[in-house]
Amino acid sequence: MSYRSKDIPPSRGHGHAGRGRGHRGRGSRGSRGSSRGGYKSGGHRGSTRGGYRGKSRGGTRGRYSSRGGYSSRGGYKSQEYYGYYDYYGDYYGQYYGYYGEESKSTHKGSFYKKNQFNYAKDRKHSHKQDDPETKTFVHNKGKVEETLYKTGKGKTLKIMMVAEKPSIAKTIAGILSGGTAREGKGIIKSCSVWEYEGDFKGYKAKFHITSVAGHMYSRDFPEKVDTWSCDPKSLFEEETIQTPTSKALCKHIQTVGKDIDFLLLWLDCDREGENICFEVIENVKTSLPFPKENHIFRAKFSSLANKDIKAAYEEIIHMPNEYESKSVEARQIIDLKIGIAFSVFQTLRLREKYPMIENVSRVISYGPCQFPTLGFCIERAERIKKFVPEPYWYLNATIKSDSAVTPNLSLKWKRKKLFDQTSVEIIQTEISSCTTAWCNRISEYTESQNKPLGLNTVKLLKVASSGFGLSSHVTMRIAEHLYLSGFITYPRTESTAYSSNFNFNEVLEAHKSHPDWGYYASGLLEEGHEKPRAGVDAGDHPPITPVRCADQSQLQDLDWKIYQFITQNFLATISKPAKYKVVKAEFIIGPEFFELSGKQMVSSGFLEITPWLSSSQDVELPDIQQGVEYEINSIEIKEGKTTSPGYLTESDLISCMEANEIGTDASIPTHIKNIIDRGYVKVNTKKGRSLVPTNLGMALGRAYCEIDSELILPKVRSYIEKSCDAIAKGKVTFKSVVDHVLKTFKQKFEFYSEQFALVDKIIKSDFVDKYGEERKKDKGNKNQAVKDYKEIGFPQEMRSYEHCKLFEEVKTITVEKTAHLHCNICKNKGTMKKIKPKNKRDTSIHLRCSQCKYEFSCFKDCNKFEILKNGCENCNSSLVRVNYPVKDSPFPMSANQHTGCLFCDEVYKEIVEYPEASENSSSQPENKKAEDKPADAGGIIISKKKKR
């Protein structure tokens, strides 16, 4: 007998911490389901094969829980969920099971029966289907020719072009006019109007090119609605309006667009750009001839290179995409109403009772993207908090070899490790009498390391955070600046695959004369580049690609780092894979198996241009022969402990958001910045931009989890994002999605407000009671931050951000003042300073001690010389990082950079010629070997231009 999910009676499960397996609920014993799992009405106890399987209304088979349990913390009602149990029984239990033991499920069942998102029902929600044949957003060529003939016959056409930024308008005007465009002033001084005469599809025309400055309108409530004094619940029903961000800008567009014949839109080619297209149309629609849609064109381009702009102009045939614009509008309305309602309600309630909370965050905000982002950080913090180190033991055997270089070889135990000390001791005792290890088998094979995919936005954000210590917000500012300057293609893209007609040779030709990687680009042109890996084509823009060639002297330091990475990553994508020769030897000692492995690079491939992507270092294996016995030196028991996971880094958080579809490539930096600005997490730049939840963030996260976990778990937001994607593709209507989401969140808001006493209790215990202690500890750090910020002097455009948050993002810059290269001659009494060479043609780095005047030169023709804040373990002097072009590199294996102590590192001692110290100096440089520490992103950077 089979059971449909609607036949499962409602029941309630008890909370259980740990892996998310629900306890047996209270209720009578039900019939057995299938041979794979027993069925109990209280808890659906399932077997290890996957638990009870049933059928939902739609006829599709759904597995309720892969772990055999339903919701680990609350009640449920099966006839309302249809197969959504798998998420709640397994994922939810793992994700927030940490609070399971502390929670009480007395009130949860009634809430979830009524207010939970009904995902199966949503999938067959009666959304109106649009006819794709009537919404292609591409002009009919015949109608275009007819419209041009009727409009342009016997006159000069007046055509208006609108770009998203003034710099883009200037670039487009210069390219299309051949440099003859004249600059005129509009109502807004920053938005110039460029004019020139030319040709539009065979008709004489006069062009007027101007720009907006981002969105022309913002979404808000009408003035009559006072969001801080009205009932927050009423905001779900209130109408929203679009208010101009600048009335002068609207007037400017209206003035330039007066009596135009055609409108050509050059806004950024993403959904936000499509939405701005319709904002521009709203201001000029009265000036356009009828039918208006035949007189509006949308340019499609991915870079500001001459060829791309000219190609977009010649092939302009599209209309603005109304579906994509509506998806942006839907997200704006949903986020505005939900965010304002929850934020106003909890801010007023908490500030009234706990005034000190305003010192941490002026607004206790909630956002449907913001809190799932915070939830990832809290989940990791809870894992760290509850982590208990577990000891383990393993065997380490050493044997004698015939090699003079490595006379003793360490063998790895094939069991790896055991968590029972007694078992390891018994095994050691059993094999301790063995005197030889027999080489049972030797295997050799070639291993390939694949080249990287094309670069998308998310990958760029992750690399900039982990590699350069930059926040995602700052990274996007740099990438946008490079794009607007014409150095790279559009930086907001989800694609990792290049189109079949992408011209790789054209990019290589532009870079073959570059001083750093020109030789590599030339080699790819001569030998023929490889085909890139098959990635994902999201249909928006190609992967981020270099356009113009630039050297280090043309860009600021951080801009150069991002540009350099983008270019080298591009070259790697069309290079050959790297190949290694791997040798593995298996040894038998008594009944136990051990192994020894070696790995050597055979062909560097793409690693020549991106050496930091190497998966492992070369390990040379001495001559080992199969079937030979080797004398055992020792068999020892080693002990270790499991280590707790670290806090989420910004790079890790971006990965979590991408995997769970929280935000888009354009909005992810904003969501991360929001939780930092609100004081919900702090940034620890000393540990790779780790995001540590504050007491306030932890308290709010726990409160939302206790009352309604869907408000903080990523599943609901992911569903909203998918719904907005469906709007953008024309599969569902704007109204159906917005109405359904707001109706559900209104119910959630009602329940949240009813249970706010629980929030009050948690905020008091987890935040207010700890506030004094936390405040005292942070006071000194905050004052120091203010002092450092004033000393640095940031660019004017960056000062508009909240000071203390900006400082967190650029904290690596402030530590540069503490990096010192101590002199090893006078025993660290003096500091080595960079001095100008006597000969202007000398391209070496010249250093002199401020105390003993010891002087020497080094690193001729290097690209960059950096003094880092990391100190040498032997002499405490700062480490030095030196960068060379790969073809001129003096470092082992032609590495393009090396980090170490200038006086202790063996590699530097081979390169640098240290002159004898003068009589006033104490002694010669000490030649002690120092272990290299990982280089930090911070440090004093001394740029050295290569001799031209």
| CB of 166 closer than 8 Å to CB of 213 | yes
Tell me which residue of 857, 930, 944, 855 sits closest to 897, measured CA to CA: 944
Q: Determine whether 454 is exposed, middle or buried from the number of CB atoms within 10 Å of its CB (0-12, 13-18, 19+).
A: buried
Residue at 25: amino acid letter: G
Phi, psi angles (nearest 5°) of residue 768:
-60, -45
Tell me which residue of 869, 936, 926, 938 sits closest to 902, measured CA to CA: 926
Give the position of tokens 């599969």. Answer: 731
Strands 408-413 vs 391-400: parallel, antiparallel or unpaired = antiparallel
Within 34-103, residue ranges assigned H as helices are 85-86, 92-96
Q: Determine whether 924 is exposed, middle or buried from the number of CB atoms within 10 Å of its CB (0-12, 13-18, 19+).
A: middle
Give the position of tokens 């892969």. Answer: 66
Name the helix (H) or strand (E) containing 311: helix 306-314
| CB of 460 closer than 8 Å to CB of 567 | no
3-state secondary structure 752-766: HHHCHHHHHHHHHHH
- Give the distance from CA 819 to its chain's centroid: 29
Half-sphere exposure of 523 (CA within 13 A, CB side): 14
Give the whole-angstrom CA distance, residue 15 versus residue 105: 7
Half-sphere exposure of 718 (CA within 13 A, CB side): 14
Q: Give every CB contact of residue 376 below 8 A, 6+ residues apart in sequence.
A: 648, 653, 656, 657, 714
Query: DSSP character for 41?
Result: T
Query: DSSP character for 128?
Result: P
Would you state the structure tokens that stand for residue 235, as one six-digit string? 């905001």
| CB of 684 closer than 8 Å to CB of 690 | yes
Give the whole-angstrom CA distance, residue 49 versus residue 541: 44
Each as own residue / partner, the long-range contacts of residues 800-804 (CB below 8 Å, 24 or more positions apart, any chain) are: 802/677
Tell me which residue of 107, 74, 109, 102 sits closest to 88, measured CA to CA: 74
Residues designated catalytic: 490
Tell me which residue of 12, 87, 74 sits closest to 42, measured CA to CA: 12
Chain length of the chain: 948
Residue at 130: amino acid letter: D
| CB of 887 closer than 8 Å to CB of 864 | no
Query: At 593, is the secondary structure helix, strand, or coil?
Result: strand
Give the whole-angstrom CA distance, residue 546 versus residue 372: 34
Handedness of CA 944, 946, 947, 948 (dihedral sign): negative
| CB of 6 closer than 8 Å to CB of 79 | yes
CA-CA distances (angstroms) from residue 448 to 340, 607, 616? Answer: 53, 12, 12
Would you state the structure tokens that stand for residue 23, as one six-digit string? 């306890």
Tell me which residue of 106, 79, 85 sits closest to 14, measured CA to CA: 106
Strand partners, 488: 546
Give the whole-angstrom CA distance, residue 830 versus residue 3: 83
Phi and psi based region of residue 458 (left: phi greater than 0; alpha: psi -120 to 50; beta: remaining): alpha
